[in-house]
Amino acid sequence: MFYRGFRAKEGKILVWGLTVILIAVIFFIQENYYNSKHFREQTVNAENLLSAGDYKQAVQAYKSALSDKNHDEELTIGLANAYAGLEEYDKALEVLRASYKVKPSKRLCGEIEAISQKKTEYEYSQYISRAEVYHANKEYKKAITAYEKAKGIKSKEVTPYQRITAAYIAMQEYELAREEAAKGQAITKDESFSLLLELIDADILQEEYDKLIDQGREYTYHENYNKAINQYKQAMELKPEDITAYKEIAQVYMTMEVYGEAARILGKALALEQDKELDNLLAQAEEQLAQQEEVTVTAFQQAAP
């Protein structure tokens, strides 16, 4: 009797034990199912938000999904791309590198490289945009500083060198402009710099020419005619096709009453370019020369025995 009672009691305990285990297994399966379903829903939601360009919400959705499944590669990459969409590249790289440290993979490595490239392009474009605003506002020194920073990011890009050169030209710093253009040509090998250097050389030549003309006018004003003539002659040698120096030196000779030389120079200038002022000056010089010769002839005749 006692044995049968013990066996019955033991059977009940076993049944209860199996029941508890079965309930636990069912609960575990259900819990796992609901967790998996919730995870899938979060993942799909995050992917949809990312595809729609709602990066801010996508970040939150990916973070929520990753809280259930840390360092999941697909989710990590999605979160990084969401950060990249917000142009928060440092956060994107931080997420990828943390996951790569736990579980390295070629895909994560590739994503790190891709995001790094996007960050580079973003920073470069930001500096260029900022520099363009400064340049448009004629804040050339600030523009040059911003272009230099862009150049530091992408040293072989043509744009920073061209725009720094343009800024120096706008500041009439032609030697610095030439130096920058030559540097750009050497580093980028871009053919556009050859033409740019030609234009800069022309600007430098014009600057030197204008300086000689200004010095000549200053000497003329102070009636230092010989020095004025010397400056104008240098200008004529520098740019023989420019008639400005011809006009100036001719007027000095006319002031000195050297009308023959004035007429000769004016005739030479008119051969280069037809100009009404030159015509008028030549007419005056020839008239004065004729009068001068007439006076000379008269004086000679009067002096003759």
- CATH number for 179: 1.25.40.10
Kindly state whether residue 38 falls inside one of the protein's structural domains: no
The whole model's pTM is what?
A: 0.71
Kindly state whether residue 17 falls inside one of the protein's structural domains: no
CA-to-CA dists, residue 191 to 47, 50, 148, 290, angstroms: 46, 42, 21, 57
Q: Same structural domain for residues 138 and 200?
A: yes
Q: Same structural domain for residues 184 and 210?
A: no
User: Domain total for the chain?
Assistant: 3
The one-digit pLDDT tens for each residue of the chain (305 residues) are 544 554 555 555 655 555 556 555 444 444 443 344 455 666 766 677 877 888 899 888 888 888 777 778 888 999 999 999 999 999 999 999 999 999 999 999 999 999 999 999 999 999 999 999 999 999 999 999 999 999 999 999 999 999 999 999 999 999 999 999 999 999 999 999 999 999 999 999 999 999 999 999 999 999 999 999 999 999 999 999 999 999 999 999 999 999 999 999 999 999 999 999 999 999 999 999 888 888 766 656 566 55
User: Which residue has tokens 């609901």?
Assistant: 34
Domain coverage including residue 192: 124-205
Q: Whats the size of the chain, residue-wise?
A: 305
Kindly state whether residue 110 falls inside one of the protein's structural domains: no
Q: Which of 175, 205, 235 is the last residue of a domain?
A: 205
Reduced to 3 states (helix: H, G, I; strand: E, B; else coil), residue 172 is coil
Q: Which of 150, 177, 205 is the last residue of a domain?
A: 205
CA-to-CA dists, residue 232 to 95, 155, 217, 279, 288, angstroms: 71, 44, 9, 20, 22
Buried b (16+ CB within 10 A) or exposed e, 53-85: eebeebbebbebbbeeeeebeebbbbbbbbbbb
Helix, strand, coil abundance in the chain, percent, nearest 5 = 85, 0, 15
Kindly state whether residue 7 falls inside one of the protein's structural domains: no
Kindly state whether residue 276 falls inside one of the protein's structural domains: yes
Kindly state whether residue 112 falls inside one of the protein's structural domains: no
